[in-house]
Amino acid sequence: MTTKRITVTALGVAVLAGCATTPGEKPVLTATAAKAIARSCHAVSGTIGHDHHSALPSAQFVLPPGASSADDHVAPMVACLSTRLAAYRYGMMGFGEARDAAVR
């Protein structure tokens, strides 16, 4: 009986996973993934939001002060976020800098 339950559960998870994306399509960005991306790129935080005009979520990242500016090229932290987000489907990416007191 236990083996049957495990098999049915595993099949159910596989079917649901198949519904989330079509083969060859990138997964949709989730809140967990946004937080992990923020952590890996040393951003203060990463969240997602939903726009009524798009089925895809928007990513919003808070960066440490000065992290979004670079003289003549894309800032390294912004490049890191863009690279990590390339693995997901999302509507837009936005970022803002934290105030000095908010960063720890």
pLDDT tens digits, one per residue of 8-25: 333 333 333 444 556 778
Beta-strand pair 57-63/93-97: parallel
The three-state secondary structure class of 82 is helix
- Give me the mean pLDDT over the 58-62 stretch: 91
The residue whose two tokens read 């992290």 is 67
Query: Position 30: which residue type?
Result: T
Average per-residue pLDDT in the chain?
76
Q: Specify the pTM.
A: 0.67
